[in-house]
Each structure stands twice: as C-alpha cells, then as structure tokens.
C-alpha cells in the first residue's frame, strides 16, 4: 500500500510543496490544506518548506487556529521554525487582533534563540499601532534607533504614517528628513503617505516644505509633475468624449453581481418572482428595495444565473495586490489610486470618474484597489446600478475580486434592505476559497443587526471567536448597539462587560452607544416600576 503510493506516478515532496504553494498564492488555501492531508497520507514526510508555506497561507487568510496547529506540528516533528515562520505568525496574530498572543509568540521566538530581524520589528511596530498600542510602538522604535539596528526605510515609513494619522505633520516631515539623512530611500509608499496626510489636513501648501526635506532622487518631482499634468488633462475639454456613454454601464443583466451572489439567486427567484412595483410582499416593500426589485432585472438576472459558470470567478487572496512601488509600469496606476482616494475622500465622485476614465484610455491597468474605491463610493451614495456596473467591468477586465470587494457588496445589499442575501454571498465567497477577516465580520454583524436578525448576529459572533479572530472595538460597539436597539438590554450590558474584560479600549463611538443603552435601561426600569408598582433598587 505504502509502496504503491510512492511509485513513479505519485508526486514527490517537491511537487507537493509547489502545488501547495501555488494553491496558497491563488487564494485556494482550503484546497492547499486538502493537499496537505493527502501529502501526509502519501508516505512522504513534510519538510520545513511545506510547513512554512502552509503557515504563511493560513496566516494570510486569517486561519490563525490552523496556523498555530501546524506550527506545533512542525515543532513536534523536529523542525525548528525559523525567523520567517515566526514573522508570518506574529503578523497574522496582530491582524487577527490577537495582541497578547502575538507578543507571546515574539517572546517565545527570543526564548528559543531564533534571531529576530528588521522584518520582525517592523511587524511588531506596525502591529502595535494597529492594535491601539501606539505608546509601546513608539518606545520600541526609539529603543531600536538608539541601538542603531533593526531599523530600515519601512520602519520609518510605518512611523511616518502614524504621525500623519495623528496629524503631527511637522514631526512627520522631520522624520522623513532624518530617514534620508540615515541613508534610507524615501520611496513611493512614504511619499503617498505624506501627500495623503497633507491633503487630509488641508496642508497642500506644504509640498514645498516636503521638497526641501527630500533632497535625494527625482521621485517626488516626478510625483508632483504627474499631479500637474493630471490636473491639466482634467481641465482640458474632453474632445470626442462627449458621447454620454456611461463609464460603468450595468447592462441591465447584472451578470457579474449575480455571479457573485449566485447562490442567492434561487432565493431571489422565489422571493421576488411575482414582484411588481407597488404590489409587493409586505416584508420587503418597506424601504430601500426600489433599485433592486425592478423585476425585469431580477428575472433576467435569475435567468442569466442558470446559464453562467460561476466556478471561474477570480478571487485574489492578496487583498488588492500591493503594486510594487518601483518600476515605471506601475507608477501611473499607483498615482491614480492615490488621487482617487483623495478625490473620493472629499466626495468628488465626478472628478474621480474622470480621472479613472482618462487613465483607462491611456491603457493603464486598474487593479482591485482602483475598482474597489469607486465601487465603495457608489454604494455609499446609493448608486447601486453604477456599482454593479463596476463589478461587471472588473469581470471583463479580468480583475480579481478580493475581500474588500465582497465587503462592499455586503454593505450594498444591507443598504438595499437585502441583508437576507448576505449568507448566500458568503457561501459564494467561501466557494472561491475566500475567508473572513475582522472587517468582514464587523460589516456582516452590522448589516444583519440593522435588519434585526439578532440570532444570526450572535451566530456570527460565536463563529468569529471560534475561528481564531478576536473582536475589536468596532465589533463590540456594533454588537452593543444592535442588542440595545433590539431591546436586549441585558445582552448589551453583558457585551460591554465582555469588551472591558477583553482589554478592548472603548472609544467615542462606544460612549454614544452607551448613552443610548443607558436611556433604554432607564426607560425599561420606569416601565417596570409603573406596571408592577414597586420599586427596584439601584
């Protein structure tokens, strides 16, 4: 039995490793895990490379429990995890909001004599910032700088970003100067960060200050020239472009949104088949349904579904692939993404679309980021037809959807009053090898909660915790609000306690939510008292 499995038709270890690697790269981590099981039954022994690839794949897709399990298995089989394996795990733990576990993993790394690298420290600093531990992050940065090691351009970039977030622009500029003096290149990521920081805090006029701080290279001048050219092009009369063709035609058949929410189709079929504007089922006639329920669309949509192959939908695990900041080929789209973000942040949708159009015409290749930005803005404004049009175009341009795309779809469905379709969309996501991260859980909990589907909310919350992701401040705020509004005041209070016990620091949104909860509790006490006619104690 064992021998026959090892004969020539059976894959060898390196074939298994390559296969697992590729599956992880294309986001099919579930399949990678299946191959992994197969490998273990094949008579081969996994090696350090197998373990590293799998742990990376699991961490990237928020399968932290799985990653931790494989990590233990690796050690039990006599392989010592190296720096890269530890780095992957620490990063994954931070991103799953498991701050304590991440720090413990770092301590363990040191304990076991595994050498921490600059990457390790960057992961630590970034992770601490992202988990509301700014003080610790700054301290670590200063310590490292004092020792004069484990600091590089990325470290500076992380700190500059944080300073921009805190509106400490002067400090950010100083740090950039220091960064350059120490011989680190101020790359496009850092420059974008600074530009966005300046713009957000209405300090465009500081670009000349920036010019003075960055003396090296011609990257900043190129960026500024790009901006000037772009503005000139946008001002110039758009010659033969006035044909009123919509930028993102949704074609009426919604083929792509449908293929995304394919498994929802059967539900929609039954639900909305006889849906005529005006003669609607009570439960869906209430508010936001108009765009969605225009039934000819629905019918075509449903029919189209039956004839479409949904298995080929592209999905990217590397969430909106980071475009490398070097290489002229990506420079244009990097700039487009940055400026789209600036325009959209100010609600300048028209300008954003124009920018997108101009650069589509020049043949610059939009990436998931680009589409997701515009998609999100359309959804936020309630332009659902245009939004689904963006999705179609993503499909046509063979641009993969990622978890942010799905997030926006769920948001959109929620706004349209169709949170009931969320679980079907999730099925589709999972079938594509997708995964849920903290933001996705938060979005889902919010959408379902607003639709008063509290049982589903609680189920998701449970699932979130059991799948190795810690709830964050947004999760708790949303949960408390949803339970308060549903009149489940005790549960809301329990959640508040859970939040504090978990060491999750409340923010200003928590305050607002607790105000509401407090009033509801007051109200219910008053009602109780007036009904029962006896007092309850404080």
Partner DNA sequence: CGCAATTTTA
Q: Which of residues 121-160 bind DNA (CB under 7 A)?
A: 122-123, 126, 152-155, 157-158
Contacting DNA within 249-288 (CB under 7 A): none
Least Cβ distance, residue 471 to DNA (angstroms):
10
Least Cβ distance, residue 435 to DNA (angstroms):
11
Tokens matching residue 29: 């981590």
User: Number of residues in contact with DNA, rule: CB under 7 A?
Assistant: 76
Least Cβ distance, residue 484 to DNA (angstroms):
10
**Residue of 385, 442, 458, 470 that binds DNA (CB under 7 A):** 442
Least Cβ distance, residue 5 to DNA (angstroms):
30
Of the pair 5, 182, the CB lying nearest DNA is at 182
**Residue of 120, 259, 293, 385 that binds DNA (CB under 7 A):** 120
Cβ 62 vs Cβ 436: under 8 Å: yes
Least Cβ distance, residue 314 to DNA (angstroms):
14
Tokens matching residue 63: 């399968």
Of the pair 302, 495, the CB lying nearest DNA is at 495
Of the pair 44, 52, the CB lying nearest DNA is at 52
133 vs 417: CA distance, rounded Å: 37
CA 46 to each of CA 14, 40, 164, 248, 340: distance values in angstroms, whole numbers, following the listed order: 10, 7, 45, 48, 46
Indicate whether 83 belongs to the interface with DNA (CB under 7 A). Answer: yes
Of the pair 356, 369, the CB lying nearest DNA is at 369
Count Cα neighbours of 331 within 13 Å in the Cβ-side half-sphere: 14
Contacting DNA within 160-199 (CB under 7 A): 161, 187-190, 192-193, 196
**Residues contacting 298, CB < 8 A, separation 6+:** 268, 272, 273, 275, 292
Least Cβ distance, residue 58 to DNA (angstroms):
12
41 vs 34: CA distance, rounded Å: 11
Least Cβ distance, residue 493 to DNA (angstroms):
17
DSSP string, 153-221: HHHHHHHHHHHHHTT-HHHHHHHHHHHHHTT----HHHHHHHHHHHHHTT-GGGHHHHHHH--SSSHHH
Here's the x/- map for DNA, 314-353, by CB under 7 A: it reads as -----xx-xxxx-------xx--xx-xx--xx--------
Quick one: which segment of 2-10, 111-119, 243-251, 384-392 binds DNA (CB under 7 A)? Answer: 111-119
Least Cβ distance, residue 406 to DNA (angstroms):
8
Q: Would you tell me how many other CB atoms lie within 10 Å of the CB of residue 411? A: 19
Of the pair 126, 393, the CB lying nearest DNA is at 126
* Ramachandran angles phi, psi of 245, nearest 5°: -75, 130
Least Cβ distance, residue 333 to DNA (angstroms):
7
Of the pair 89, 289, the CB lying nearest DNA is at 89
**Residues contacting 91, CB < 8 A, separation 6+:** 59, 123, 127
Contacting DNA within 461-480 (CB under 7 A): 472-475, 477-478
Contacting DNA within 511-530 (CB under 7 A): 512-513, 516
Q: Is 315 helix (H, G, I), strand (E, B) or coil?
A: strand
Least Cβ distance, residue 56 to DNA (angstroms):
5
Q: Would you tell me how many other CB atoms lie within 10 Å of the CB of residue 249? A: 12
CA 527 to each of CA 73, 173, 522, 538: distance values in angstroms, whole numbers, following the listed order: 58, 58, 9, 15
459 vs 469: CA distance, rounded Å: 14
Quick one: which segment of 171-179, 232-240, 277-285, 372-380 binds DNA (CB under 7 A)? Answer: 372-380
Indicate whether 417 belongs to the interface with DNA (CB under 7 A). Answer: no
**Residue of 13, 84, 234, 358 that binds DNA (CB under 7 A):** 84
Here's the x/- map for DNA, 379-398, by CB under 7 A: it reads as -x------------------
Contacting DNA within 52-81 (CB under 7 A): 56
Residue 457: Cβ-neighbour burial (10 angstroms; 0-12, 13-18, 19+): buried
Give the N- to C-terminal CA distance of the chain in Å, as an integer. 73
CA-wise closest residue to 227 among 198, 252, 254: 198
Of the pair 168, 267, the CB lying nearest DNA is at 168
Least Cβ distance, residue 83 to DNA (angstroms):
6
Query: 70-74: which pairs have CB atoms within 8 A and are 24 or more residues apart?
Result: 74/48
Indicate whether 48 belongs to the interface with DNA (CB under 7 A). Answer: no
Least Cβ distance, residue 82 to DNA (angstroms):
9
Least Cβ distance, residue 118 to DNA (angstroms):
5
Of the pair 338, 423, the CB lying nearest DNA is at 338
Contacting DNA within 481-500 (CB under 7 A): 481
Indicate whether 97 belongs to the interface with DNA (CB under 7 A). Answer: no
Indicate whether 376 belongs to the interface with DNA (CB under 7 A). Answer: yes
Q: Would you tell me how many other CB atoms lie within 10 Å of the CB of residue 290? A: 13
Of the pair 157, 262, the CB lying nearest DNA is at 157
CA 330 to each of CA 121, 188, 237: distance values in angstroms, whole numbers, following the listed order: 28, 11, 27
Q: Is 276 helix (H, G, I), strand (E, B) or coil?
A: strand
Least Cβ distance, residue 374 to DNA (angstroms):
9
Of the pair 36, 121, the CB lying nearest DNA is at 121
**Residue of 404, 421, 451, 495 that binds DNA (CB under 7 A):** 404
Q: Is 266 helix (H, G, I), strand (E, B) or coil?
A: helix
């Amino acid at each position: 039995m064992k021998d026959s499995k090892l004969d020539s038709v059976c894959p060898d270890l390196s074939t298994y490793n390559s296969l697992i690697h590729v599956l992880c790269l294309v986001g099919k981590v579930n399949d990678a895990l299946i191959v992994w099981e197969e490998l273990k039954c094949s008579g081969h022994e996994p090696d350090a490379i197998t373990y590293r690839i799998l742990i990376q794949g699991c961490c990237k897709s928020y399968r932290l429990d799985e990653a931790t399990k494989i990590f233990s298995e690796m050690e039990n089989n006599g392989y010592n995890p190296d720096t890269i394996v530890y780095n992957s795990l620490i990063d994954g733990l931070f991103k799953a909001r498991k701050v304590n576990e991440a720090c413990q993993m770092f301590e363990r790394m040191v304990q076991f004599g595994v050498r921490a690298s600059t990457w390790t420290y960057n992961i630590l600093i970034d992770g601490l910032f992202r988990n509301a531990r700014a003080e610790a992050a700054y301290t670590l940065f200063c310590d490292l700088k004092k020792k004069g090691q484990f600091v590089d351009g990325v470290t500076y970039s992380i700190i500059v970003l944080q300073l921009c977030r805190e509106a400490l622009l002067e400090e950010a500029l100083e740090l950039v100067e220091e960064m350059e003096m120490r011989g680190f290149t101020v790359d496009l990521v850092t420059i974008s960060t600074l530009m966005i920081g300046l713009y957000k805090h209405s300090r465009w006029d500081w670009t000349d200050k920036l010019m003075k701080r960055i003396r090296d290279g011609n990257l900043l001048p190129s960026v500024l020239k790009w901006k000037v050219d772009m503005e000139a092009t946008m001002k110039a009369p758009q010659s033969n472009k006035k044909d009123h063709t919509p930028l993102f035609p949704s074609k009426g058949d919604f083929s792509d949104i449908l293929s995304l929410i394919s498994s929802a189709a059967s539900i929609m079929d039954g639900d909305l088949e006889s849906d005529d504007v005006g003669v609607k089922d009570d439960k869906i006639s209430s508010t936001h349904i108009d765009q969605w329920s225009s039934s000819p669309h629905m019918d075509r949509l449903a029919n189209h579904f039956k004839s479409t192959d949904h298995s080929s939908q592209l999905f990217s695990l590397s969430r909106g692939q980071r475009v490398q900041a070097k290489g002229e080929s990506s420079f244009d789209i990097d700039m487009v993404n940055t400026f789209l973000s600036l325009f959209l942040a100010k609600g300048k949708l028209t300008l954003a679309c124009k920018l997108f159009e101009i650069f589509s015409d020049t043949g610059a290749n939009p990436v998931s980021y680009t589409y997701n930005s515009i998609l999100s803005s359309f959804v936020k404004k309630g332009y659902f037809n245009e939004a689904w049009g963006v999705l179609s175009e993503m499909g046509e341009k063979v641009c993969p959807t990622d978890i942010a795309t799905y997030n926006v779809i769920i948001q959109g469905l929620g706004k349209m009053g169709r949170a009931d379709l969320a679980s079907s969309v999730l099925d589709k996501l999972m079938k594509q090898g997708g995964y849920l991260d903290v933001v996705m859980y938060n979005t889902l909990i919010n959408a379902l909660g607003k639709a008063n589907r509290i049982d589903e909310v609680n189920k998701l919350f449970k699932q979130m915790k059991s799948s190795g992701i810690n709830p964050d401040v947004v999760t708790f705020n949303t949960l408390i609000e949803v339970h308060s509004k549903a009149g489940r005041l005790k549960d809301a209070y329990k959640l508040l306690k859970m939040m504090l016990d978990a060491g999750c620091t409340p923010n200003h949104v928590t305050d607002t939510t607790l105000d509401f909860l407090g009033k509801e509790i007051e109200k219910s006490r008053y009602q109780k008292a007036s009904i029962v006619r006896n007092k309850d104690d404080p």
